Amino acid sequence: MTDTPKEQPRNPLHGMTLEAIVTALVDGYGWQGLAERIPVRCFTLDPSVASSLKFLRKTPWARDKVEGLYLFMLREQRRRS
């Protein structure tokens, strides 16, 4: 029996690192736009990917919000194209 992760072709988060998600959100919304959508200090005061990752890895509710916003952004991009 192996412990390899199962294929999840329909899960857009599968295989995505938290760093890639935060970077994509910053590219899409900018730090200010991200802070407006998810008002946490790591996005408002001296934001950086490193500080955001540190906070999000310790705070499950904030990570859920970030992942949800990423999924929303993907849906919006698909609608536009």
Q: What structural domains and CATH numbers belong to the chain?
A: 18-80 (1.10.720.30)
Q: Which amino acid is at 27?
A: D
User: Could you tell me where the DSSP H helices lie in the chain?
Assistant: 18-37, 41-44, 49-58, 60-80
- Report the pLDDT value the prediction gives residue 14, as an integer from 0 to 100: 86
Structure-block tokens of residue 61: 């509710």
Residue 48 has φ and ψ, to the nearest 5°, of -155, 160
Determine the angle formed by the axes of helices 60-80 and 18-37, rounding to 10 degrees. 90
pLDDT (tens, 9 = 90+) of the chain, 81 residues, equals 455 556 676 888 888 999 999 999 999 999 999 999 999 999 999 999 999 999 999 999 999 999 999 999 999 999 998
Q: What is the DSSP letter of 81?
A: -
